[in-house]
């Protein structure tokens, strides 16, 4: 008997040794290049070699640099530093640099970087971030996704002194970061400055932009002086950063790939998982209880869980792909940690113990449930107080019954029921400020429920004051704020629900179809929107600047009546002030250039944005589109240029040309041109715009002097040469004061 035990033990030891030493490459193929392992389906060798799955996974181990370097292909220059069978690999990517000295740009490094990946690779959206470093820095990133769509983003970093820098912070002061989307297949970065580092040359001569593993890079204030000193160097001496790529078996998903066993990449004892990339692909994994390379035919080998950490307390028996626990003779139980094995006792004692345990369990559950209900109620009260609930009730009482009817304080339970526990099917929109749900009240009214991402507890009184004021707004073309809920960590706002979507989708279509949209409807919607903005500017007390006027923030109801929404960037301006100092934010193409330069938000900032919306209505073109001729990317600039050259009727939308008379179209175009003036003083007020639009619609009393027949050459030229040519959809500059600034997370009622 003893010799049998010895033989079995020897066999198990040999099996464990063979599993631990199992190669991850194909038999006879190179397993490493320097210190980098090369697991199949990747491999090196001649083009006809079977060491790699196909040409997508063909790598080269280049030894001509004095040490082995694993490159992506025979003509590739991206070095691989690690390849994981979990579908990720780490590579080294060049960084973009823009350096200056007293004489100007030094042309040290690459100001623009273009990276193109094979189709089985994409930049990991969960592990990689786009980062820019510098105190006079504009970093712009554009790309194509695996789905075929285009993508653009970037950020701005600014500072006037290295004393303002904070280690570990990339919020726009010396360092800025932004995430990348899933399925990013190419990487094109362009780096520039505002003032050639004139004000920061002594402590920041260079700007940098790069992709990097977010777990690897942590900003240090010394980076603005010399980032390269702490970055790795590539085989050819170039400065690089580590970047994580996702890789898949391309072309098929699991459902189709498994039908063709000849081309199916997964071996025995594996399971397949679909990639989240837009164009598909899949990865292979060893089943639980197996370990090895799932891409080799017999790559996943059974492991002996009994020799590793497991849940057994007494007896462990290894099985194929798993293990089981048991108790020795004279004991009972499941043999697992927790219950374990118990010495056998009489049946009566067991029943008594079981009954007592049940009573105790129910008692514990009852007490626990009571404590949970109490704590939940207490937490709601805590949030209600922190979010200004007591202050809000005082304000409502101060304003009388009229305010209480206009602003309802909802409970968290009411909104939970209205959204079916915030079911994903109820989501109607997501934005920078949070998520919007469609809810239904017991009286069958539909509402829009906005869950903001964050709020400023320090400014909560200002927040409460302003939502009371916004709730009292009463204009048929402004989305109504119905109420709020303050029993949650971040206040929830409730709006009327608008059914017909946005003006943007009505003009440009929803990706599947383009809607018929007559000039008569366009002109009416323009007039209604102008009326709403004029109301906010002049009738509100205090006046309200919207701050983010664009076609996606103009909603349409069942009768296609315009409803101005999304007060996420709104500001309430005291009556004795004409402007407000604020952080730069908004949407590119609609942002007032004067606001970008001065950081002073005025009512004329809304006028400029409204002018951009008029351009969309007239031309039917998006206000900013990538992939077009350079002069047509920014339609506002192109529109002003066309007006100057008397080419207005060459750029109008066909439906506009067929539906409107030339005099009326010329009049609306002149309004748009005046609104788009670079200087705010040269723009009309929204009240003047309303009067002029009513006149053009046949409802007014005469043309006004502010609509000029000639064009201000200087303003037009400055607008055309504006430096806002980066395709950054929304950027925030973390500089200057937040004095007098109140940011309300009040996205509109969609």
C-beta atoms surrounding 305 within 10 Å: 20
C-alpha distance from residue 597 to each of 82, 153, 223, 601, 628 (Å): 45, 20, 27, 11, 27
Would you say 676 and 706 are in contact if contact means Cβ atoms under 8 Å apart?
Answer: no
CB atoms within 10 A of CB 380: 18
As given in the structure block, the two tokens for residue 6 are 């010895």
- Alpha carbon dihedral 664, 668, 673, 679, in 10-degree steps, equals 130
Contact 132, 157 (CB under 8 A): yes
> 227 Cβ partners below 8 Å, 6+ apart?
133, 206, 208
Q: Show which residues are catalytic.
A: 548
Answer whether 619's CB lies under 8 Å from 651's CB.
yes
Q: What are the counts of helices (DSSP H) followed by strands (DSSP E) for the chain?
A: 18, 38
Q: Which residues lie below 8 Å from residue 267, measured CB to CB, with a gap of 6+? A: 284, 293, 294, 295, 296, 297, 298, 299, 300
Closest CA to 545 of 336, 373, 742, 677: 742
Q: Which residues does residue 270 pair with via DSSP β-bridges, in sequence order?
A: 286
Q: Phi then psi for 323, rounded to 5 degrees?
A: -160, 165
450 is in an annotated binding site: yes
Residue 660: what are its φ and ψ, rounded to 5°? Answer: -120, 150
Distances (CA, A) of 412 to 133, 441, 457, 716: 42, 13, 19, 52
Three-state DSSP at 673 gives: helix
Residues 87, 266: Cα–Cα separation, whole Å: 13
Q: Are 507 and 517 contacting, i.e. CB atoms less than 8 angstroms apart? A: yes
Give the containing element (helix H, strand E) for 32.
strand 32-33
Which has the closest alpha carbon to 133: 56, 68, 229?
Answer: 229
Cα–Cα distance for residue pair 39/85, rounded to 1 Å = 7
> Are 266 and 272 in contact, with CB atoms under 8 Å apart?
yes
The DSSP element (H or E) to which 204 belongs, if any, is none
What separation in angstroms does the CA of 642 have from each of 648, 669, 723?
Answer: 6, 11, 19
Query: H or E segment at 149?
Result: none
Give every CB contact of residue 361 below 8 A, 6+ residues apart in sequence. Answer: none
Phi, psi (rounded to 5 degrees) for 141: -125, 130
- Peptide bond connecting 542 to the previous residue in cis, omega within 30 degrees of 0: yes
- Give the Cα separation of 24 and 511 in Å (integer): 45
Q: Which residues, in sequence order, are CB contacts of 247 under 8 Å at separation 6+?
A: 87, 88, 89, 120, 121
Residue appearing with tokens 């790529």: 245
Give the Cα separation of 117 and 140 in Å (integer): 19
Separation between Cα atoms, residue 308 and residue 290, nearest integer Å: 13
Residue 500 CB neighbour total at 10 angstroms: 15
Binding-site residues for ATP, in ranges, read: 450
Binding-site residues, in ranges, read: 450
């Amino acid at each position: 008997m003893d010799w049998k035990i010895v033989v079995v033990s020897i066999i198990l030891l040999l099996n464990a040794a063979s599993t631990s030493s199992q190669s991850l490459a194909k038999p006879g193929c190179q397993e490493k290049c320097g210190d980098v392992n090369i697991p199949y389906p990747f491999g090196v060798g001649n083009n006809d070699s079977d060491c790699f799955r196909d040409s997508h996974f063909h790598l080269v181990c280049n030894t001509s640099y004095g040490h082995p370097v694993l490159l992506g292909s025979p003509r590739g220059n991206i070095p691989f530093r690690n390849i994981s069978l979990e579908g990720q690999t780490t590579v080294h990517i060049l960084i973009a640099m823009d350096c200056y000295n007293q004489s100007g740009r030094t042309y040290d490094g690459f100001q623009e970087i273009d990276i193109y990946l094979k189709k089985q690779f994409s930049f990991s959206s969960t592990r990689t971030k786009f980062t820019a470093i510098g105190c006079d820095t504009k970093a712009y990133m554009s790309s194509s996704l695996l789905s075929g769509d285009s993508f653009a983003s970037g950020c701005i970093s600014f500072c006037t002194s290295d004393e303002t820098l904070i280690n570990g912070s990339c919020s726009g002061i010396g360092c800025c970061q932004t995430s990348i989307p899933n399925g990013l297949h190419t990487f094109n970065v362009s780096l520039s400055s505002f003032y050639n580092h004139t004000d920061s040359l002594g402590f920041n001569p260079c700007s940098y932009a790069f992709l990097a593993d977010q777990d690897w890079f942590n900003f240090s204030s010394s980076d603005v002086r010399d980032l390269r000193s702490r970055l790795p160097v590539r085989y050819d001496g170039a400065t690089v950063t580590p970047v994580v790529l996702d890789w898949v078996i391309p072309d098929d998903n699991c459902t189709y790939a498994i039908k063709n066993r000849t081309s199916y990449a997964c071996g025995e004892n594996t399971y397949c998982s679909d990639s989240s990339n837009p164009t598909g692909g899949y990865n292979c994994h060893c089943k639980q209880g197996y370990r090895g390379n799932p891409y080799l035919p017999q790559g996943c080998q059974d492991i002996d869980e009994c020799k590793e950490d497991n849940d057994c307390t007494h007896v462990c028996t290894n099985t194929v792909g798993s293990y089981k626990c048991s108790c020795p003779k004279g004991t009972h139980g499941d043999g697992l940690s927790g219950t374990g094995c118990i010495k056998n006792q009489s049946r009566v004692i067991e029943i008594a113990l079981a009954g007592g345990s049940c009573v105790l369990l129910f008692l514990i559950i009852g007490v626990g449930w009571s404590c949970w209900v109490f704590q939940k109620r207490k937490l709601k009260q805590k949030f209600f107080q922190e979010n200004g609930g007591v202050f809000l009730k005082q304000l409502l009482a101060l304003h009388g019954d009229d305010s209480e009817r206009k602003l309802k304080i909802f409970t968290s339970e009411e909104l939970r029921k209205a959204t079916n526990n915030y079911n994903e099917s109820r989501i109607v929109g997501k934005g920078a400020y949070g998520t919007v749900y469609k809810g239904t009240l017991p009286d069958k009214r539909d509402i829009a429920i906005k869950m903001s991402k964050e709020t400023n507890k320090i400014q909560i009184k200002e927040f409460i004051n302003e939502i009371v004021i916004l709730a009292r707004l009463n204009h048929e073309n402004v989305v109504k704020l119905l109420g709020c809920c303050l029993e949650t960590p971040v206040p929830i706002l409730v709006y009327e629900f608008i059914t017909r979507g946005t003006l943007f989708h009505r003009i440009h279509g929803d990706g599947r179809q383009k809607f018929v949209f007559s000039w008569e409807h366009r002109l009416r919607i323009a007039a209604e929107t102008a009326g709403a903005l004029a109301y906010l500017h002049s009738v509100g007390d205090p006046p309200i600047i919207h701050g983010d006027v664009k076609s996606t923030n103009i909603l349409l109801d069942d009768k296609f009546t315009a409803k101005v929404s999304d007060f996420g960037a709104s500001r309430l301006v005291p009556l004795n002030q004409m402007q407000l100092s604020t952080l730069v934010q908004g949407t590119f193409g609609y942002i007032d250039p004067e606001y970008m330069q001065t950081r002073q938000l005025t009512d004329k900032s809304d006028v400029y944005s409204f002018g951009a919306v008029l351009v969309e209505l007239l031309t039917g073109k998006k206000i900013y589109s990538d992939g077009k001729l350079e002069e047509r990317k920014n339609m506002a600039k192109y529109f002003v240029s066309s007006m100057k050259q008397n080419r207005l009727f060459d750029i109008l939308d066909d439906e506009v040309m067929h539906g409107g008379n030339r005099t009326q179209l010329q009049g609306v175009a002149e309004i748009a041109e005046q609104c788009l003036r670079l200087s705010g003083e040269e723009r009309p007020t929204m009240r003047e715009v309303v009067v002029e639009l009513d006149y053009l619609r046949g409802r007014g009393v005469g043309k006004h002097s502010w609509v000029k027949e000639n064009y201000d050459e200087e303003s037009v030229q400055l607008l055309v040469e504006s430096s806002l040519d980066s395709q950054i959809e929304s950027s925030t500059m973390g500089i200057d004061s937040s004095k007098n600034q109140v940011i309300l997370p009040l996205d509109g009622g969609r």
